[in-house]
Amino acid sequence: MTQHIILYDGDCPMCVFQMKMLSWLDWFGVLALVPLSDPRAQEVAPQLTREDLLEAIHCVTPQGRIYRGARAIRFVGMRLPLLVPVALFLWIPGVILIAEIVYQWVSRNRLLLSRIFGCKDACAILPAKKREQDKLA
């Protein structure tokens, strides 16, 4: 495994929309986006339960290190040129703690937020970038 694997909820319209965005921002092909419904998800991180995986986005590095939630966003952001400013902001002392609290709230309410912001409709507008390393929902 040479790419960082992003595990996400493929049944969540907001999550799918975010993964479609990442597929376009990943200019150098450093990410593989894997929905939880894909059998590879359990193979990549067997120590994580399905409940753990549904609580937050997870990034599994080629070395096997796992980043979760806002820390996964920070880690991924440092590898995607357009997201570097966001990632650097998350390195400011104390910011990651606030980001984790916000992330947890958004994660718990993601299906409601998906309906409010029309993520399902937005997903229909934003085309998925066809990449061999992904399995976008």
**pTM of this prediction?**
0.84
Q: Is residue 16 part of a domain?
A: yes
Question: Is residue 134 situated within a structural domain?
Answer: no
**DSSP state letters, the chain:** --SEEEEE-TT-HHHHHHHHHHHHH-TT--EEEEETTSTHHHHH-TTS-HHHHHHS-EEE-TTS-EEEHHHHHHHHHTTSGGGHHHHHHHTSTTHHHHHHHHHHHHHHTHHHHHHHHTHHHHHHHSPPP--TT----
pLDDT of residue 111: 78
Segment 31-47, tens digit of pLDDT: 999 999 998 888 999 99
136 in a domain, yes or no?
no
Q: Which domain holds residue 79?
A: 4-125
Residue 130 domain-assigned (yes or no): no
Q: What is the pLDDT of residue 136?
A: 43
Structural domains in the chain (count):
1
User: Does a structural domain hold residue 40?
Assistant: yes
Q: Which stretches of the chain drop beneath a pLDDT of 70?
A: 1, 117-137
Distances (CA, A) of 4 to 38, 39, 67, 93, 100: 16, 17, 10, 25, 21
Determine, yes or no, domain membership for 132: no
Q: Is residue 117 part of a domain?
A: yes
pLDDT at residue 16 in the model: 86
Residue 29 falls within a domain, yes or no?
yes
Q: In residues, how long is the chain? A: 137
